[in-house]
Amino acid sequence: MLRGGSAITTGTSLIEGRRIALVTGTLAEPAVRAVADQVRAAGATDVCVIVLNIQVAALLTADWVARKLALPDDVTFDRVILPGYCDGDASVVAQPLGQAVEKGPKEIDDLYDYLTGAGTASVKDYGAYDIEIIAEINHASKLPPDELVREARALVADGADVIDVGCEPHTDRAAWDGVGDAVRALRDAGMRVSIDSFHPGEVAAACRAGAELVLSVNAANREAARDWGAQVVVIPDDPHTLGGLDATVSFLEKQGVPLRIDPVIEPIGFGFARSLGRYLQVRDRFPDTAMMMGVGNLSEMTGVDSAGVNAMLIGFCQELGIQSVLTTQVINWGRTAVREIDCARRLMYHAASRHTVPRHVDKNLVMLRDTKLRESDPSIYEALASKLTDRNVRLFADTARGELHAMNNHVHVRGDDPFVMFDKLDIDDPSHAFYLGYELAKAVTALTLGKNYTQDQALDWGMLTRDEVSHHERRK
């Protein structure tokens, strides 16, 4: 089962022997010229920095640049790069110039990598995967059908391939008489369904309604599995060993019942390491048999952010050929487990199939911190502050040094306490005070966690990033 992905542009040297024009404003000129020197040293024939008569490049619009930008008459450039914040379509600028124009990155710190292609993944069809996600809805019997379907649809949108109807774990009770209706509702909504129950009546009703997979089967219920007409997940009779597993597999194979095996992963402190070893043993014993892992046993039972736990387990499954995983999203620190696994299965497939380490390809799972901190030089902040001519406050976070900078044409404040800094800025407009408070909170968060901060831009939380409309855009 191989699912496809989408192509990513291959990163190669884009500057050797090229003539490049970099367009910027007056405040960013020194930093852009420094990048230009680096690009020349890396092989570009020429890099021309064109400074327009505007302080902040983020205020550029394509229409304004089209009117103001003039290139040297005696040079034909291979690439003309506008600041990434320039508002509008770059083709508006390209038309009067008669040559291609492109928008670069929003941050100057990313400009060198953008121009050279450094750090761009050489990936063809990234996004392929071969691990199936089974997402369990716990205590499904307590949910009205419409709510069950709504929750299932959300899980499918996050990447789930199969919706598992979770029933009460004990069997000394009456069967849930609504299980068939629940399965049919999910099937009618176009979803694949599994049933998680040891109650024979519930399982039989669910399979009649269209459930394609049963979790789980061992010596206690394997006889009944002959009549279900569904694939089953085989588990050991004793979850702390592989006791009884071979006998159940042999019985079901003779009966022609399709199966996959789950040796059962155990929480840390209750045999986790040995349970991983049992997956290795099962793969050696049954090299061609489908396997499953219930990763929720670890992500739900370990008090850490679940993304790293899920990524490591998916990497283990990828190497061992375990092509289905079961998860749930009950505990708050695992509330995005399905999305995490969806990201992880693509990353780990890429790593395993290409024999490369899973890094610098997809940063969706790097959420708490950033993949790389931008380099900063304190002298740059001093130089920038000396050139400001208006009272608008610019904020910067020098995360490497644990220091914030706030500056306008009257003051340059630095420190790590936003309350002390705000008092020194002499802000008397309530709306501006609110704005700065919000931005300072983001900047302090960046210092605390080790993230990059850019004024008026969302912090990068990987797959959890929430896009923001900048203060400037709101005012427009």
| Residue 308 clears pLDDT 90, i.e. is over it | yes
Per DSSP (E only), the strands in 53-114 are: 79-82, 102-103
With a pLDDT cut of 90, the percent of the chain lying above it is 67
CA distance 355 to 61: 45
Give the bridge partners for 327, in sequence order: 135
Q: Does residue 12 carry a pLDDT above 60?
A: no
- The pLDDT value recorded for residue 41 is 87
- Which top CATH class is 132-354? alpha beta
Least confident of 58-62, 291-295, 302-306, 368-372: 58-62
pLDDT of residue 129: 96
Which SS3 state, helix, strand or coil, does residue 129 take? strand
Residue 375 vs residue 320, higher pLDDT: 320
> Three-state SS for 66?
helix
Lowest-confidence segment of 26-30, 210-214, 239-243, 462-466 by average pLDDT? 26-30
Nearest to 318 by CA among 341, 339, 338, 297: 341
Q: Using CA atoms, how far apart are residues 367 and 459, in angstroms rounded to an integer?
A: 10
Distance separating alpha carbons of residues 193 and 195, to the nearest angstrom: 7
When pLDDT is averaged across residues 331-354 and rounded to a whole number, the result is 96
Q: Structural domain boundaries of the chain?
A: 19-116, 132-354, 378-475
Residue 113's pLDDT is 83
Question: What is the rounded CA–CA span in Å between residue 44 and residue 79?
Answer: 11
The mean of the pLDDT values for the chain is 91
Give the span between the Cα atoms of 308 and 305, in whole angstroms.
7
Is it true that domain 19-116 has CATH number 3.30.1360? no
Within 10 angstroms of residue 358's Cβ, the number of other Cβ atoms is 20
* pLDDT band of 121, cuts 50, 70, 90: very low
For residues 80-100, average pLDDT = 88
Q: Is the pLDDT of residue 444 over 70?
A: yes
- Measured distance CA(344)–CA(322) in Å, rounded: 14
Instruction: Give the other-Cβ count within 10 Å of 291's Cβ.
Output: 21
- Residue 178 main-chain phi, psi, to 5 deg: -100, 5
Name the H helices within 257-360. 272-285, 296-299, 306-320, 337-354
Identify the pLDDT of residue 8: 40
Rounded distance between C-alpha atoms, residue 289 and residue 285, angstroms: 9
The length of the chain is 476
**Residue 10: predicted pLDDT:** 37
Query: Of residues 7 and 55, which shows the higher confidence score?
Result: 55
User: How far apart, in whole angstroms, are the C-alpha atoms of residue 235 and residue 264?
Assistant: 7
